[in-house]
Amino acid sequence: MGGCFSKPKPVELKIEVVLPEKERGKEELSASGKGSPRGYQGNGTARHFHAEERLPTPQPYPSPQDCVEATVCHVKDLENGQMREVELGWGKVLLVKDNGEFHALGHKCPHYGAPLVKGVLSRGRVRCPWHGACFNISTGDLEDFPGLDSLHKFQVKIEKEKVTIRASKQALQLQRRTKVMAKCISPSAGHSSSTNVLIVGAGAAGLVCAETLRQEGFSDRIVLCTLDRHLPYDRAKLSKSLDAQPEQLALRPKEFFRAYGIEMLTEAQVVTVDVRNKKVVFKDGFKLEYSKLLLAPGSSPKTLTCKGKDVENVFTIRTPEDANRVLRLARGRNAVVVGAGFLGMEVAAYLTEKAHSVSVVELEETPFRRFLGERVGRALMKMFENNRVKFYMQTEVSELRAQEGKLQEVVLKSSKVLRADVCVLGIGAVPATGFLRQSGIGLDSRGFIPVNKMMQTNVPGVFAAGDAVTFPLAWRNNRKVNIPHWQMAHAQGRVAAQNMLAQEAEINTVPYLWTAMFGKSLRYAEPVTCLGSQEKDPELSCGGLGQVSGVPRSETKSWGKCQLQFPRIPHRGI
């Protein structure tokens, strides 16, 4: 795997071109770029592809009329370590100078379109300024999550100390590249009773596992099942954008799954796992045998147990339909949010301009206190109060009162009565692992699935990833922790897939999450990276305490430059 290698001398160098993904040669079926691709058979052996199993012969590099070429700068216009957006007529390109070499890449992060020029360039990678995804500047490949796609890499030429870029017009407009994937050579005939890989749960972990298998040359059957009625979507966005529709949240279109032979079973609930016979049973009685199994069932939201708990218009936000209905009921009316964690505060922030009133009920003294500390919690609380949100702290719900079956009032243990047309619960979650209790797959006392660094459970051939697992965190001397971050689920899904293929990969990424409220973007890394700047924004920085990483987007360039050892690592279970 190469890149565009050139030095600031008045000579023309040979350039190794990384072509748009769909035009690459057949030899690039492995995302790691190591050797020839391998398929994985049900008996646990690896095998090389036969000629007929490879992807179709790629199209040649686009003809001149399909490309655009432009001289964009002088070699001395950029210092080492600098990045610049340059215009090619059909679109912009990110030009990077690193160790005297120039690289040209797509300029937007494929995840949600962040301008990478505002990110951080370090050790041959550029990190997205919004959500932390990392891309290799020599290949454009995605190397750290979140997100699914990589960047296009464009040809760079140095002539007479001028930098010229040649790029595909189509690639400039797409701004994203899906890695080359194998296709399934053993599709099922209808509902076949066996599969090589079964993935239970179609969140980030499950989808990334399936895609990684295909990227690494796995060409046998993959079945991905989900309780949801929708194809995999960005559930983390639901609480930030209650009006989002399923098609807007979809991580991949239906055609993608068809093209790469990833079979989707929607509204499919697994009720039993038989590890001795390598078989699962679904609620409707359907039985499916597997060779390798990934468990990524996620979590189930906690609900209230108080009087009136079954009244209408009380929601846990799990689906786009839930979010959309909350918004409809809250418009111009009274909304109560129970829980001042990330989900509750995001919902409250979104509803401030939509609802007549927004109230937040919380057991703690300040929002986010366990995660971010009291100082940051109070700063955020003040920001919400300035936007008309009322807080009722150190109390909880004692009763939900209804009129004609629909919510009318929320009664607190402090005796305060809140008018409420809709109530959103954000009071935590429990692992959705009840179906595993008699399976022989290990669960801890709280229902989490313990795994090792390779995402392997106590049962050979059974892996687990996502919100329902505890795993060894390197930064905590390998203590088992549960960190239900969107980014972490991506990483765990990839590691699980790599170890299904006997690649001996280990989970080794810094847990990281983000949120956005009232135009402020708060970033939180566990446990070693601080993004805050006390001088520029003292209310949202760690202030030298190392408790929190929270900054406006304008300050994200400090990513990776401040290394602090956190005095405590706030996460579930420790």
| pLDDT tens digits for range 98-146 | 999 999 999 999 999 999 999 999 999 999 999 999 999 999 999 999 9
Domain 67-174 adopts which CATH fold?
Rieske Iron-sulfur Protein (2.102.10)
Examine residue 110 and say whether the peptide bond preceding it is cis (omega within 30 degrees of 0). no
Angle at CA of residue 112, ends 213 and 481, nearest 5°: 60
Buried b (16+ CB within 10 A) or exposed e, 333-356: bbbbbbbbbbbbbbbbbbbbebbe
Q: How far apart are CA 67 and CA 103, in angstroms?
A: 17
Give the residue-averaged pLDDT of 502-513.
90
pLDDT-derived band at 17, boundaries 50, 70, 90:
very low
pLDDT tens per residue across span 381-438: 999 999 999 999 999 999 999 999 999 999 999 999 999 999 999 999 999 999 999 9
- Residue 337 pLDDT exceeds 60: yes
Confidence of residue 8 (pLDDT cuts 50, 70, 90): very low
pLDDT of residue 477: 86
- pLDDT band at 526, cuts 50/70/90? low
Looking at per-residue pLDDT, the higher value among 337 and 51 belongs to: 337
pLDDT averaged over every residue in the chain: 82
Instruction: Read off the pLDDT of residues 442-472 as tens digits, 9 standing for 90 and up.
Output: 999 999 999 999 999 999 999 999 999 999 9
Write out pLDDT tens, residues 471-482.
999 878 889 999
Question: What residue segments make up the domains of the chain, in order of their start?
Answer: 67-174, 197-300+432-514, 314-425
| CATH number of the 314-425 domain | 3.50.50.60
Angle, helix 320-330 to helix 342-351, in steps of 10 degrees: 40
pTM of the entire predicted model: 0.81
Confidence of residue 371 (pLDDT cuts 50, 70, 90): confident
The pLDDT of residue 15 is: 29
pLDDT of residue 3 exceeding 90, the answer is no
- What's the confidence (pLDDT) of residue 557? 29
Instruction: Report the C-alpha gap between 508 and 453 in whole angstroms.
Output: 8
Residue 532: the pLDDT is 35
More confident of the two residues 554 and 227:
227
pLDDT > 70 in the chain, percent: 79
Angle at 211 between CA 208 and CA 212, to 5 degrees: 80
Report the pLDDT value the prediction gives residue 250, as an integer from 0 to 100: 96
Same fold, 67-174 and 197-300+432-514: no
414, HSE (Cβ side, Cα atoms, 13 Å) = 12
Q: Which residues make Cβ contacts (< 8 Å) with residue 316, sequence separation at least 6?
A: 301, 302, 303, 322, 424, 425, 426
Architecture of domain 197-300+432-514: 3-Layer(bba) Sandwich (3.50)
What is the mean predicted confidence (pLDDT) over 5-25?
35
- Strand 38-40 and strand 46-48: the pairing is antiparallel
Mean pLDDT of 220-244: 95
Q: Residue 214's closest CA among 179, 177, 189?
A: 179
For residue 519, the model assigns a pLDDT of 86
